């Protein structure tokens, strides 16, 4: 069965916890076979999240300062360290039931990376790829897309965050992105030297996911 792309971009920035609740409902329904594999695509309101094994030292501000800046601070049950979400970034949550022959989390992450690399190339990015020091998508030593996933009874959730416009960049100044110090963060717009919209990125990502999954 083909993957269903659920485009929520017209809703505007979605609260992180609200989106998390949607994921939980879809994970339960996918596990019961009530819905097909689904990719949620959306933008978040400004939010810093950190995974179960995150180093809290990678949060560079006090909780009160995050609140003052209008940035929600949310612990999650995903893998990975600290990351930022906000307008100008395409967030994707694949809710996929991994078949018996595909139940390899490392392989799943590689497939996510491949789909995002392909989407970036379709938009004109040259040199997008993997890095030996961390999962995700990189252009040179600059971080273009972060990954943080979880699998429950072999149904995937959480996912990826692809930086599209420079609107999202200031939020990364408040953290050590994904716990990898000394590596810059970049965006599609910055790499391409032109304004790329989240809608444009979503269309490219949706096409690549339909091919890959």
Please state, rounded to an integer, the average pLDDT across all residues of the chain: 93
Q: Give per-residue pLDDT as tens, 59-93.
A: 999 999 999 999 999 998 887 789 999 999 999 99
Strand partners, 156: 151
The larger pLDDT score, comparing residue 53 to residue 155, is at: 155
Q: What pLDDT sits at residue 1?
A: 54
- 82 assigned binding-site residue: yes
**Is 32 annotated among the ligand-binding residues?**
no
**Which whole-number Å values give the CA distances from 97 to 27, 52, 65, 101, 170, in the listed order?**
9, 23, 39, 11, 35
**Catalytic residue from among 178, 191, 196, 201:** 178
Q: Is the pLDDT of residue 178 over 80?
A: no
Give the span between the Cα atoms of 71 and 85, in whole angstroms.
9
SS3 158: strand
Query: For the chain, where are the alpha helices, taking DSSP H only?
Result: 16-31, 63-68, 105-122, 188-192, 198-212
78 annotated to bind ligand: yes
Residue 186 pLDDT exceeds 90: yes
For each of the domains in the chain, give its residue range(s) and CATH number, in order of start.
4-212 (3.30.930.10)
Q: Are 72 and 61 in contact (CB under 8 A)?
A: no
Q: Is 129 annotated as a binding residue?
A: no
Averaged pLDDT, 135-163: 93
Tens-place pLDDT, residues 55-67: 889 999 999 999 9
The length of the chain in residues reads: 213
Tokens of 56: 């809290």
50 is in an annotated binding site: no
The reply to whether 85 sits in an annotated binding site is: yes
84 is in an annotated binding site: yes
1 against 163, higher pLDDT: 163
Residue 178 annotated in active site? yes
């Amino acid at each position: 069965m083909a993957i269903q792309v659920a485009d929520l971009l017209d809703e505007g920035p979605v609260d992180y916890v609200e989106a998390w609740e949607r994921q939980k409902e879809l994970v339960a329904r996918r596990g019961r076979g009530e819905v097909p594999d689904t990719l949620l695509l959306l933008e978040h309101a400004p939010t810093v999240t950190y995974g179960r094994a995150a180093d809290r030292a990678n949060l560079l501000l006090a909780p009160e300062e995050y609140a003052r800046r209008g940035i929600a601070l949310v612990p999650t049950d995903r893998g990975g360290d600290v990351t930022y979400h906000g307008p100008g970034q395409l967030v994707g949550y694949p809710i996929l039931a991994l078949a018996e022959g595909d139940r390899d989390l490392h392989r799943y992450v590689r497939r996510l990376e491949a789909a995002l690399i392909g989407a970036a190339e379709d938009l004109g990015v040259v040199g997008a790829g993997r890095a030996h020091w961390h999962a995700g998508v990189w252009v040179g030593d600059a971080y273009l897309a972060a990954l943080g996933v979880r699998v429950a009874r072999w149904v995937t959730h959480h996912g990826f965050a692809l930086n599209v416009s420079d609107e999202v960049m200031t939020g990364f100044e408040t953290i050590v992105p994904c716990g990898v110090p000394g590596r810059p963060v970049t965006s599609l717009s910055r790499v391409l030297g032109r304004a790329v919209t989240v809608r444009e990125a979503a269309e490219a990502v949706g096409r690549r996911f339909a091919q890959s999954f």
